[in-house]
Chains A and B, each alone.
Chain A
Amino acid sequence: MSKMTREMLNARRIQAKMAADAHTRTVLICAGTGCIAGGSLKIYDYLKTECEKRGISVLVNLMDDETQCAGHAINMKKSGCHGFCEMGPLLQIEPEGYLYTHVKIEDCDEIIEKTIIGGEVIERLLYTLDGVSYAKHNDIPFYRQQHRVVLENCGTTDAEDMDEYLAKDGYAAFEKALFEMTDEQICREIMDSGLRGRGGGGFPAGRKWDSVRKQPKGKKYVVCNGDEGDPGAFMDRSIMEGNPHSVIEGMLIAACAAGSDEGYIYVRAEYPLAVTRLKIAIAKAEEAGLLGDNILGTDFSFHLHVNRGAGAFVCGEGSALTASIEGKRGMPRVKPPRTVEHGLWAQPTVLNNVETFSAVPLIVRKGAAWFRSIGTENSPGTKAFALTGNVVNTGLIEVPMGTTLREVIFDIGGGIKDGKKFKAVQIGGPSGGCLTEEHLDLPMDFDSLKKLGAMIGSGGLVVMDEDTCMVEVARFFMHFTQNESCGKCVPCREGTRRMLEILERIVANEGTLEDLDLLEELSATITETALCGLGQSACKPVQSTLKYFRNEYLAHVVDKHCPHCNGRKKELQIDPTLCKGCGKCKRQCPMEAIEGQIRMPHTIDTTKCIKCGACWGSCPFGAIREE
């Protein structure tokens, strides 16, 4: 294989751009995990075969066959995640920019006839909201209010086709870093941009790189944290699946800056597609001479490996992650020494997460000033959030830092499902806290959230409506954390378990007021003395719910009755003398265990009932009783 030079890379990029411009019609089928689960790959195959049957040549790769480009060919590709997973499978048709939702195989023939050939829109496949249908992707409120920078290419390019990435100026930033900038200049640029690590704490990335750069020469590593463990977060997955080359390019630039020649991407075990796409991307980059020895004819070499996690939340912590790459138990170690001095295999290591690396090429290409023009003074740039829970539009979004919760939940998210009232939002997963009504107009950035005892974390936003029991939410997160504790330090190993026991007691209406004191005492010590970030933030959900929803704890402890959940897990029955047969409970029941004619007393089938208490909270007449 002949060595790729800078000139050759540029020539290939120009060709790719020409090919991209030449395509008049492009069909993008979302091949993110969500849409694949909805059958998007079958739709892709069907469309492809059917088009070919009708004599339309289908180009799968951008540079498939240049001679055909001008004719009737269409470019059909599997794109990364569009973010609007709720509406999947999604299909986007260019140049018109139509976005079809909930596409089924049965719709395909019509799509080919009307839209692909005729350029005509099919109304019933469009997204509708409040009676308005939106033909174009960019008009949909969910997208209109977003500012997609890092995720921009996710829904529009084929992750497995490197030429598409090149056509969008891919690897141009790396080229600039490699040929036109010194290591110091790269670090300076990243520092000037104010880019802060997107994985949790928000440590300035440029300072981290510079620390590694200043370490004595020798083996250094660049490690990408793709162990997105927060339940309720999936932006890193979407980037790895939808735009893997941006991660690779970001890591290459970091390697140039820090003087490293080897890197690892550590991906959660639950993301097999991300692993596949990354491996394909790495293979293509290696083939193109962008990874390996003497990259683009220079002395710079960089070898990149993918490690699969094996299901341990704590491996998102830096020293645990490096231990895991070394084949050990992923247990955090005491710091200092910090990872920049003593990281993977005790060598200086740059460790950032996927979203952070993915932002790097944009910063290098467009400049620090451009990045600073987005977001807030101390938290520049955009942030991806995974919006989930009781919200109308769930999915992956990207907004400038400093956007308020209200904009995110109500404008982009479309408000609370089923017309319910907003109660709280859990931000930052099990390590974050909950925010309430009073915080809706607060700009979200690293520092403002930290002040409130919450944190951006990796960016999971779980919205909870008025029916949610916040004590149960706290119990849920504590259950998660104690299960994921690595078992090393006493406060986390034993403390989170004891916290859980107390919370379980309270949820079951068996707690006492002293238990609330115990929770506070334990929270304080665990927060003050736990060894790593997981333990130090383990009590945030409890602390914040105790602060904002103490009355719900009191309902469990003093009243022994929570309006939102059936804590005691006793059998439930409907009092026929009180039941008016309104049917509210029947609609709430997740098990379809309630039967009854309208305006007639309803009954609960105790064999189906799981005693979740959903009916209890919904009954306006107090007809549901414990046996």
Chain B
Amino acid sequence: MVTLTIDRKTVTVPEGTTILEAARSINQEIPTLCYLKGVNEIGACRICIVEVEGYERLVPSCDNVVSEGMVVYTNSPRVREARRVNLRLLLSQHDTKCTQCTRSGNCTLQDLCNDYNLLGDHYIKDLRPTPDDFSTPVVRLENRCIKCMRCIQICDKVQDMNIWDLIGTGSRTTVGVAGHRTLAESDCTFCGQCVTHCPVGGLQEHDDTGKVFDALADPNKITVVQVAPAVRAAWAEHYRLDPKFATAERMVTGLKHMGFDYVFDTNFTADLTIMEEGSEFVERFAHKERYAWPMFTSCCPGWVRFVKGQMPKYTANLSSAKSPQQMFGAVAKSYFAEKLGVDPHRIFVVSIMPCTSKKSEAALPTMNDVCGDPDVDVVLTTREMVRMFRGEQVNPATLPETPFDSPLGTGTGAAVIFGATGGVMDAALRSAYYLVTGSNPDADAFTNVRGMDGWKEATFSIPGAGDVRVAVASGLGNTRRLMNAIDAGEVEYDFVEIMACPGGCAGGGGQPIHDGKEMAESRGDVLWGLDKNAAIRFSHENPDVLALYSEFLKAPLSSKAHHLLHTDHEGWKMPNQK
């Protein structure tokens, strides 16, 4: 243990503790900007500097460890002045049009500049004339970037995709994918982790709220919205509401208030996905020799892009089932349109997703199976939905609860856990067990695939089918390790669930941003809690899914189901595929 003095208070901390952590342990906050624990500890922003007695220069507290007898001042006049100068320097290359930025009010730079009372301009504004590229789901805004390198480090260390890097040196330093390429031409999976870890508005999702407002105002359009499982665990964070209060049903009221004709639940098609994918697995498992192994889930578009871009030979191993989002679009424009007796072209499907990559999935040329229009017209992230709520003056704290509309609004406990890592596997095993044995397993029989470990594995015995070896990974860095191990023959599995974002969709790139805080685990817990308390916990027991089969699709893997609910992953190419 080391004892030191911070702002005249004595503190004892374990050896190797940074000054920053030591100060925080006694509730003395030190502002940081580039620092991201365990990911970005490069000491670049020089905001967390403190004064240490006996040191000639100011010391960054994020990467200097304490020593015995150290005397630290976190807010001396010298420190304050240096922070102010460094903040002003950052502002000299920052487009300070905060009113036009999605991160206004949730921006560490803005907070710090307000905190340090930086009024007026001091240096030449040095903005770059380069136009921003709005062609991708993830958008980088040159003049908002503060070159903290968090995006680079998240992409390298956590996601192991190495899409971003620094370009140039000196004051010309910027971040990009390489001068001769655009982001669209890169191998980017659009997972959006760089967006959720940007301390400012330098990276954001492509804003599609305008299209939705237009559709809502168009009397010829029948607007149908679906809400992904993970959204309900995060949507009210902006309003600082207790998750127990901020239920999905309150969100339904908000969406209705905005004017959506039908508010449905992606949980419905998550259950449908289990029926299709589970049946597919059982079929493949019964005829092992005909298929490539292991079988991979296909509901995460970031992961699908990863396979196709990084290890294309495993594309055939992906389940051919579409993701719940895409199944929803296909069902809404076929089954539901028929029910309404309207032309499917009039149906406008919006999805609210915790995800940026879903925008690219909806835009794939292979995702227009019903009438030629895209099955899903617009994808909004959770953040965009919240922005729409704000624009429409929706105040969730005052909203009553409204149930999802019928019939595409019914979901089981097995569906809601799609939003957490391991959830798809858990749900699939519950139904696969039933499909093979004809009886339900304990709904909590597969807990080994739950939890925040990046790479989990388990073997379950299904009577009549044998041992099923499964693995679950989240985060593309873990995914690459797992895939390399499979490729090298070091591990063998039958069924693998992959989610591109650490912790699954709960920690998705489209979720609300809390600088320096990882929310995937607590949001996942909300979802597991919903499952625990759900009346129905098996996808194959979803009454409206069963009705869909009996009225329309006939059976899982039927030819109609194939046409609408399955896709050819080879039907489109990643930029690097020749």
Taking Cβ atoms with an 8 Å cutoff, the residues of A that contact B are 312, 329, 333-334, 336, 482-491, 493-498, 501, 518, 521-522, 524-525, 527-531, 536
Contacts and interface: CB of A to CB of B under 8 A. Distances in A.
B170 A483 contact: yes
Interface stretch (B77-85, B178-186, B279-287): B77-85
Contacts of B172: 487
A530 B93 CA distance: 18
A528 B78 contact: yes
Given A493-B170, A536-B57, A531 B44 contact: yes
A485 B90 contact: no
Given A333-B42, A498-B123, A531-B43, A482 B89 contact: no
B529 to A, nearest CB: 42
B46 A491 contact: yes
Given A490-B44, A490-B89, A525 B170 contact: no
Contact of B57 (A489, A493, A522, A527): A527
A490 B45 contact: yes
A397 to B, nearest CB: 32
B43 A493 contact: no
11 contacts: A312-B169, A336-B64, A488-B149, A490-B86, A494-B93, A498-B92, A501-B124, A501-B126, A524-B82, A525-B85, A528-B49
A65 B90 CA distance: 69
Contact of B86 (A482, A488, A529): A529
Among A483, A486, A487, A491, the one with the most B-chain Cβ atoms within 10 Å of its Cβ is A487
B341 interface: no
A525 B82 contact: yes
Contact of B49 (A484, A485, A529): A529
A494 B87 CA distance: 10
Contact of A487 (B45, B81, B166): B166
Given A489-B44, A529-B46, A482 B58 contact: no
Nearest to B122: A518
A458 B41 CA distance: 31
Contacts of B81: 521, 524-525
A312 B170 CA distance: 11
A194 B245 CA distance: 72
B173 A487 contact: yes
Nearest to B85: A525
Nearest to A495: B89
Given A485-B169, A486-B169, A529-B46, 9 more contacts: A312-B169, A334-B60, A484-B170, A487-B173, A488-B173, A495-B86, A501-B124, A529-B86, A531-B60
A329 B42 CA distance: 14
A497 B93 CA distance: 11
A483 B173 CA distance: 10
B89 A528 contact: no
B44 A482 contact: no
A333 B173 CA distance: 17
B168 interface: yes
Contacts, number: 107
Contacts of A488: 42, 44, 149, 173
A529 B89 contact: no
B155 to A, nearest CB: 16
Interface string B119-157: 000111010000000000000000000010100000000
B170 A487 contact: yes
A483 B171 CA distance: 8
A497 B169 contact: no
Interface hub of B41, B44, B168 (most chain A Cβ within 10 A):
B44
A531 to B, nearest CB: 6
B166 A490 contact: no
B169 A487 contact: yes
Interface string B58-76: 1010011100000000000
Max chain B C-beta neighbours (<10 A), residue from A333, A493, A527: A493
Counting contact residues on chain B (CB < 8 A from A), the size range is 35 or more
B85 A522 contact: yes
A529 B86 CA distance: 9
Contacts of A491: 46, 85-86, 89
A329 B63 CA distance: 21
Contacts of B123: 498, 501, 518
Given A489-B44, A529-B82, A497 B170 contact: yes
Nearest to A333: B42
Contacts of A329: 166
A489 B41 CA distance: 12
Interface string B485-518: 0000000000000000000000000000000000
B174 to A, nearest CB: 9
A349 to B, nearest CB: 20
A496 to B, nearest CB: 7
Nearest to B90: A490
Given A485-B170, A497-B170, A528 B43 contact: no
Contacts of B78: 528
Contact of B46 (A336, A501, A531): A531
Contacts of A486: 169-170, 173
Contacts of B89: 490-491, 494-495, 498
A494 B57 contact: no
Query: What 3 pairs between A and B have smallest CB-CB spacing?
Result: A487-B173, A497-B171, A494-B89
A518 B42 CA distance: 28
B422 to A, nearest CB: 35
A536 B85 CA distance: 15
Contacts of A483: 169-170
Contacts of A489: 43-46
B21 to A, nearest CB: 16
Given A334-B43, A491-B89, A529-B49, A485 B171 contact: yes
Given A522-B85, A527-B57, A498 B124 contact: yes
Contacts of A536: 57
A433 B46 CA distance: 25
Nearest to A501: B124
A528 B57 contact: yes
Contacts of B49: 528-529
B372 to A, nearest CB: 48
A493 B173 contact: yes
Contacts of B86: 490-491, 495, 525, 529
Contacts of A484: 169-170
A303 B168 CA distance: 34
A495 B92 CA distance: 9
A530 B46 contact: yes
A528 B171 contact: no
A524 B83 CA distance: 12
A334 B63 contact: yes
A233 B85 CA distance: 33
Nearest to A521: B85
A501 B173 CA distance: 17
B545 to A, nearest CB: 53
Contacts of A336: 64-65
A489 B63 CA distance: 14
A455 B43 CA distance: 26
B520 to A, nearest CB: 29
A482 B43 CA distance: 19
Contacts of B92: 494, 498
Nearest to B93: A494
B170 A496 contact: yes
Contact of A334 (B42, B57, B126): B42
A528 B42 contact: no
Contacts of B93: 494
Nearest to B49: A529
Nearest to B65: A336
B143 to A, nearest CB: 13
The residue among A329, A333, A334, A527 with the most chain B CB atoms within 10 A of its own CB is A334
Contacts of A334: 41-43, 60, 63-64
